[in-house]
Structure 1
């Protein structure tokens, strides 16, 4: 039972491909596409040069002569074919890697993270620092981290069927010793007046969902769930996250959460936290990852990106 610290095995078990097969019946339909080493190298390379297929997609008159001789334009035909197949199936998709979505890069295109072309997907992936984190630093906050003993994992592109999600009904659920020990409003940048009115039913729905559809099915006893409650009595699993600092604790604190797990008595649910008044809205601690550095250096006006912060799938 790994309650004190986040271990590499905990992070590995929260990789999408490792939990999706377990909870496929209670989450959003998704496709998992294996990434070969060439794609990983391209994602980590400096600069943004999209694959050749994207140029053909954006300009039907594009020809090989339009490419400068010293530019190495990548081609990933198998990956591109798999992406097109998913787009045909779902029409619109939400891309992510093994753990992280590309939320930090949604400023780069008007549609945010809602994609239905190769160009949109590749641009998000190539622009996201979270993708780089998944590929290079997924385990670095683990107490047993060692570069020589990183667990084997095949990197994957995950394409999730796009769903229009109401951010006021997204919640982060902290699980300790196989009990829900805390629930937080997911979007801590906003005040939603109905949460106070509906809090008892929200708690009841989430606890019922956890006890009937999640508990005892997962191999960890400390983890974090992102949930969506589209209507009373209905809950959908969005994501499974490690129990530790790599996951934002939102309206909680990690020391506080660990103390709940370490309590001598069995943990019980006591705490649903949400912003109760308009002035209680707080900035997202990860918000700095959602805009270009030039904004924070004062070289760009942040208002030009405001319309691109559209709501959609989380993860």
Structure 2
């Protein structure tokens, strides 16, 4: 993996080119003081002091042990000044700009940094999702997320030509319009190597959806046509992955770009398979579309503190062996069904 390949997958890099084919998004550069705030875990967990009295989340200190919030004590209620928490941070200009953008996007958004959304902290949201209606709700998700440390500190760790510092020069906050009626089974990951689409995988691999079997040929055709008409030749990397969503009317929407390999999961494929298939099929137009074909083929659930993309699936890990066994069982059942 090369630095330039990682950089191209940042949303502020690809969004201008693919604006017409993806979710409406407004992107804000983040001041360095805000990045320092996200990374600072030396004191109590303080949300920024909001400039709006109508904010649904006033300045509070979440207690992660009991999943409760406690208001900051009044300084006049204690005689021991040494026990007083530090004053809450404040980012009035950034908050004002972001709240204006939220309003422009219909009042609800989900946040994303250069590469990553805070999926692992959705549990702390009142809705259990990434839906945000205010600056403070966004900060709560970002500040509670462990997966965002990848963006903030480790974006280039796996680059074999690494010369850059471990983080980009500037971070961005992308506000993406929230759609409440999206169906997880209609999200797919596409794999491109040497400019050819070599694989498509169901993205939500923790469930079996019979509708995908019924619509497999139609979905494959629509996603392939989308790649040929909207993506091929416009994204500069030779190998990469991209995620799409297929609407009820069949229209395909681009969701994100990811690197080939690294922290990107191959889902129902293995990287070895994708490398082999892409080499043998290069130039021939061959491509494989994989979905979960039965209830027995589902992958492990996501009842963990980290998103599926950040589980340790490296070679030799427990998850690696589990997933290999699951792959083998799925192939065995597929062969049995065919016979």
Q: Same fold (TM over 0.5)?
A: yes
How many angstroms does 1:104 deviate by? Answer: 0.9
Per chain length, whose mean CA-contact separation is higher, i.e. which structure has more relative contact order (CA < 8 Å, sep 6+)? 1
Matched residue, 2:329: none
Provide the TM-score with structure 1 as the length reference: 0.83
The SS at the match of 1:231 is: coil
CA contact 2:151–2:167 (8 Å) conserved in 1: no
Structure 2, gaps ≥5 residues long: 61-70, 76-82, 309-339
How many angstroms does 1:245 deviate by? Answer: 2.0
CA distance in 1, matches of 2:234, 2:8: 13
1:266-297 alpha-carbon deviations (Å, 9 max, x no partner): 36333111111112111158955159xxxxxx
CA distance in 2, matches of 1:223, 1:78: 36
Matches within 5 A, 1:88-127: 88-90=103-105, 91-111=107-127, 112-127=129-144
Flag the 1:287–1:143 CA change in 2: closer, same or farther, 3 A.
farther
Flag the 1:15–1:203 CA change in 2: closer, same or farther, 3 A.
same
1:200-226 alpha-carbon deviations (Å, 9 max, x no partner): 110000010010111111111211111
Flag the 1:54–1:105 CA change in 2: closer, same or farther, 3 A.
farther
CA contact 2:109–2:133 (8 Å) conserved in 1: yes
How many angstroms does 1:22 deviate by? Answer: 0.5
CA contact 2:25–2:176 (8 Å) conserved in 1: yes
Flag the 1:119–1:193 CA change in 2: closer, same or farther, 3 A.
same
Aligned residues: 285
CA contact 2:51–2:92 (8 Å) conserved in 1: no
Matches within 5 A, 1:150-165: 152-164=168-180, 165=182
How many angstroms does 1:55 deviate by? Answer: 8.8
Matches within 5 A, 1:250-269: 250-263=267-280, 265-266=282-283, 268-269=285-286
Over the residues paired in the alignment, what is the CA RMSD in angstroms?
2.6
CA contact 1:176–1:267 (8 Å) conserved in 2: no
Matched residue, 2:99: 84
Instruction: List 4+ stretches of structure 1 deviating above 3 A.
Output: 58-70, 148-153, 261-265, 284-288
Structure 1, gaps ≥5 residues long: 1-5, 292-315
Provide the TM-score with structure 2 as the length reference: 0.77
Matched residue, 1:273: 290
CA distance in 2, matches of 1:223, 1:258: 12
Which structure has the larger Rg? 2
Matched residue, 1:44: 39
